[in-house]
Amino acid sequence: MMVPLPLNTVISLHGSSSIYPVYRCRFYVLFIFSFLAFNQCLFWLTFSPISKSTQIYYHIDESTVNLLLNWGPIIFIPCLPLAYVLLNKQHGLRKTVLLLAITDFIAVSLRIMPTIFISPSNSYFTSISLLFIHIGQILNAACGPLVMAPVSQLSCLWFAPDERTRATTLAIMACSLGSTIGFLITPWIVTKSEHVPYLLQLHFILAFCALVLTLIYFPAHPPHAPSVSAQSLIDMSMNEQNENSLRSYLNDIWRCFDSPSFKLLCSVGGISGGVFAAWTGLFSNILAAENFTEQQSGWFGFTCSLSTIIGGLITSTLADTRYFRRSFKSIILTMLCGCFLAVLYFQLSIHTIFFDEPIFKPTVTSIALSVTFAGLFQGSAIPLVYESFAEIMFPKPESLSASVLVLLNNVTALIMLFIPPSLYKLLNFLVLFSIGLCTVLMMYVNIDYKRRNIDERKQ
């Protein structure tokens, strides 16, 4: 009879005498973090997919609903340095995840309170509800850096070198899954305006479950590091806990930009990711001129988001194999070329700033395939960009390079949000141009596998 292993059982990947063991509880740690990341993105997207029902239920206009969504990038940028400083303190990962779980639970609790204690017919319902909702959305937006900055660092701390890319991918794609599921199930739950509280109740339950699971068990790091780079990361947080500050964070970023490859890779990841995110959010405007309905555009967005997750899982599994562990640049270049071709076909199937009539006749099948392949190739490149940063900037903490990347993503997306929806043709061209530019820039990136070299040399 087989006895199940305890949660903290040591499992060696390199023989029973390995000095760098991995622990079964690493999967629990990754699950909890991914659950929290999924929740954070799902909660951020609460009101946009049900904009009309939200306007009716709370008696507000569309601009207010848009502001509830835009709190995400607005609050993300100033909170990111604080998240990095916390993450690199002693037991920083545990503190970061606990803060994430508690803050998101408070955020969803505040949003649901007015629906419990005040009737929608009350004359003060709108003003009181808006106050609580805005505070809740701002708190949830502040959790964004706590979700995006630790992804590479968590995989390094808990997973063996030949598992890291897949672990990073799962942590990243949990956010994408949150937005994907949000677009799909939110309109299904809120079929009428009076059903809005049902959605808030579901979010409260999800946040409560995630908080309980986090409080039950989430260690700061494993008893023994799974690699040399992980041990270096643990030692750094122990030795520099009193020196880590906002000033040191800014100094570290300044040193990072001394590396030409870092600057090029920042441009590749930041520009392509930010522009692509803004582009997928405007499918309804772009495709309206081609006589596609909002429902069809919503499904196109869903398939695009889902394909990014599938693409990331495929390439991360490939990159963890023996033959492709040092082929990040080739894989990223291939994926960018594929994404460019998919977006080019999409461009030729709609009205553009260059052509009054589409070159190819747009159909549901052709548009669906083009956005699906665009998302597949774009998602395939994302995890490898994160891991390439970690390799180039070692022995700096993985959270440093990840924080710079997500900062540029949010800045780019925020800039794109200022483009009026009526200029969707311009945005549609910009996504094609940016991916083409990033493909060229990627050719000049030199990925030095510093972290992998030291891990393999020791092991």
Answer yes or no: are the C-beta atoms of 278 and 417 closer than 8 Å: yes
d(CA 114, CA 363): 45
d(CA 252, CA 303): 39
d(CA 9, CA 14): 15
List pLDDT tens digits, range 395-418.
777 777 777 888 888 788 778 777
Other CB atoms within a 10 A radius of the CB of residue 191 amount to 11
For the record, the structure tokens of 458 come out as 């020791």
Longest dimension (CA), the chain: 71
For the record, the structure tokens of 259 come out as 């590396």
The pLDDT value given to residue 7 = 53
CA 310 to each of CA 16, 29, 165: distance values in angstroms, whole numbers, following the listed order: 34, 22, 14
CATH number for 245-459: choose from 3.40.50.2300, 1.20.1250.20, 1.10.390.10, 1.10.10.10.
Answer: 1.20.1250.20
The pLDDT value given to residue 341 = 94
Q: Which residues in the chain come in under a pLDDT of 70?
A: 1-18, 237-246, 248-249, 281, 284-285, 294, 421-422, 455-459
List pLDDT tens digits, range 45-72.
888 778 788 888 888 887 888 788 888 8
The pLDDT value given to residue 213 = 95
Answer yes or no: are the C-beta atoms of 79 and 142 closer than 8 Å: yes
- Give me the residue label for tokens 């997750």: 309
Cis, bond preceding 78 (omega within 30 deg of 0): no
For the record, the structure tokens of 417 come out as 């949000």
22-23 vs 10-11, strand pairing mode: antiparallel
Same fold, 20-243 and 245-459: yes
- Among 130, 153, 138, 148, smallest CA distance to 65 is for 130
d(CA 110, CA 132): 6
Q: Is 227 helix (H, G, I), strand (E, B) or coil?
A: coil
The pLDDT value given to residue 96 = 92
CA 224 to each of CA 10, 292, 381: distance values in angstroms, whole numbers, following the listed order: 9, 56, 31
The continuous run of DSSP H or E covering 11 comes out as strand 10-11
d(CA 242, CA 17): 36
CA geometry: angle 256, 377, 33, nearest 5 deg = 60
d(CA 397, CA 150): 10
The pLDDT value given to residue 243 = 54
- Return the DSSP state at 419: S
- Give me the residue label for tokens 């006895």: 3
How crowded is the C-beta side of 82, counted as CA atoms within 13 Å? 10
d(CA 346, CA 338): 13
**Ranges of each domain in the chain:** 20-243, 245-459
Q: What is the CATH number of domain 20-243?
A: 1.20.1250.20
